[in-house]
Amino acid sequence: MKKFFTLLFLSVTGITGFAQTTVTDSLKEVISNHEGKLTALDERVLVNEADLAKLNKIKVSGYVQAQWEYYGKDLVKTNEPTNTFYIRRARIKFTYEPADGVKFVLQPDFSTGNLSLKDAYAVVNLPFLKDWTLWAGQFNRPDYEVEYSSSQREVLERSRLIRAIYPGEREIGAKLEYIGSKVPLKFQLMAMNGNFTGANAKDVDSRKDIMARLVYSIKMPSAGLGIDIGGTGYFGGNKAKTNQYVLESNGVADSVAVGDYLKKQWFGAEIQLFADVLGGLALKGEYITGTNSTPSTIASTATMAAKKADPNKVNNFSGYYVYLIKNIGPKNQFVAKYDFYDPNTKLSGDAAGSNVYYKTLTLAWQCYVNDNIRISLNYEMPQNEKSASVKNIAGTGSTQLNDNTLGIRIQAKF
């Protein structure tokens, strides 16, 4: 009997031990599986956190400008409308800052009838030069009105002078920029292709154009005044690639060797004054004068007569613009702007041909509905120099054109 109970006890103990071992092994397997799943989940979370960290370094902004314009009769060609709706600008700007002192910017434009790349550049802080940055890619040329964003500008378009000598505003090149942290000084030095035939084009010759800008800021808090004073210089040239004949600014025919460079050089002075009086007032202006050139596009195989009929052109020019900006309450703003541009200062009247001067008065009213919406009313009144080559819609020359433009714009920013 004693042996029986002993055997029974050993059997029960063995079965229990086996059951416990089986349960323990199963539990270990379950725990191991869960641990594996948790590890995989941790890895996914870490990946997602890394992705979110990268996304947090990307800033997306932009604006859309919907516009309606009504044109004076001399701006209307046969069978074209006197007014139109269109999208003036529709831009999205992507800014990525992967590390302190490093920034990448990409900005396409989707305006009506146009898909283009406006900005594509990198900016790097120079660690061995405090307050200095290096820019490379496609970006605005160093000039006040050029660099002043189209989403902030107080009138619908830039001055005629700026549009003429800096078409498209952007260029491809490299720029050194200094913004003093202790001295209120800004200095920019840019080397660029200088083609002026399209910002996306590669250079058409080996020589690079150089541009420099220097601005000094004066702040007088007790008087509620801030003044920025600066100057610019442009040094470049256009190559006479196919045609040796040149028409000078004074109308005299000349010639150069094919391969020589035609002068493209000008200097400017600028001032911006901001006064904290009667809700805020600003006066801004810039004057630029120098020599610009337009290379002939005629084929090198053309006849001498054809080359003389389409020569390279070198013109002395000058121009300026002045803004008066007055805040009216917290949400409204009145703007008066006067600009002048003479593409050829050596000739006038009929002798100037189509290179006549323009004086333009622009009156505008801005209503800032909120931080994102702005409504603009703009009336532009240009006055041209009279010349037989400037004809109105009736075909009459030596007359003042009726080319005023009324514009209404709604801008939405995000």
Residue 96's pLDDT band (boundaries 50, 70, 90)?
Answer: very high
Q: What is the largest CA-CA distance in the chain?
A: 140
Residue 18's pLDDT band (boundaries 50, 70, 90)?
Answer: very low
Every domain of the chain and the residues it spans: 1-56, 59-413
On the question of pLDDT at 5 being above 50, the answer is no
Task: Kindly state the DSSP code that residue 123 receives in the 8-state scheme.
Answer: E
On the question of pLDDT at 61 being above 70, the answer is yes
* Mean pLDDT within 150-163: 96
Return the structure tokens found at 78. 């046969």
Q: How far is CA 76 from CA 83, 158, 228, 392, in A?
A: 9, 22, 40, 10
pLDDT tens-place string over residues 172-226: 999 999 999 999 999 999 999 988 655 557 888 889 999 999 999 999 998 889 9
On the question of pLDDT at 367 being above 70, the answer is yes
* Mean pLDDT within 348-368: 95
* Mean pLDDT within 118-132: 94
- 3-state secondary structure (DSSP) of residue 259: coil
Question: Which amino acid is located at 275 in the chain?
Answer: A
pLDDT score recorded for residue 326: 97
Residues contacting residue 285 through CB under 8 Å, at least 6 positions apart: 270, 271, 272, 320, 321, 322, 323
Q: How far is CA 23 from CA 34, 68, 135, in A?
A: 16, 80, 68
pLDDT score recorded for residue 127: 87
Torsion sign, CA atoms 99, 100, 104, 110: positive
% of the chain with per-residue pLDDT over 90: 72
* Mean pLDDT within 388-414: 92
On the question of pLDDT at 21 being above 90, the answer is no
On the question of pLDDT at 334 being above 70, the answer is yes
* Mean pLDDT within 340-349: 96
Rounded mean pLDDT of the chain?
A: 88
Task: Kindly state the DSSP code that residue 162 receives in the 8-state scheme.
Answer: H
Closest CA to 238 of 212, 268, 271, 204: 204
pLDDT tens-place string over residues 230-274: 999 999 999 999 999 999 999 999 999 999 999 999 999 999 999
* Mean pLDDT within 313-320: 97
Residues contacting residue 65 through CB under 8 Å, at least 6 positions apart: 87, 88, 89, 90, 111, 150, 151, 409, 410, 411
pLDDT score recorded for residue 9: 47
Closest CA to 240 of 305, 143, 307: 307
CATH entry 3.40.50.1980 includes domain 59-413: no
* Mean pLDDT within 60-68: 97
Decide which of 297 and 133 is more confident.
133
Decide which of 276 and 28 is more confident.
276
On the question of pLDDT at 285 being above 50, the answer is yes
Are 383 and 360 contacting, i.e. CB atoms less than 8 angstroms apart?
Answer: yes
Closest CA to 138 of 119, 163, 157: 119
- Lowest-pLDDT choice from 5-14, 117-126, 135-144: 5-14
Residue at token pair 């009769």: 73
Distance CA 347, CA 315 (A): 10
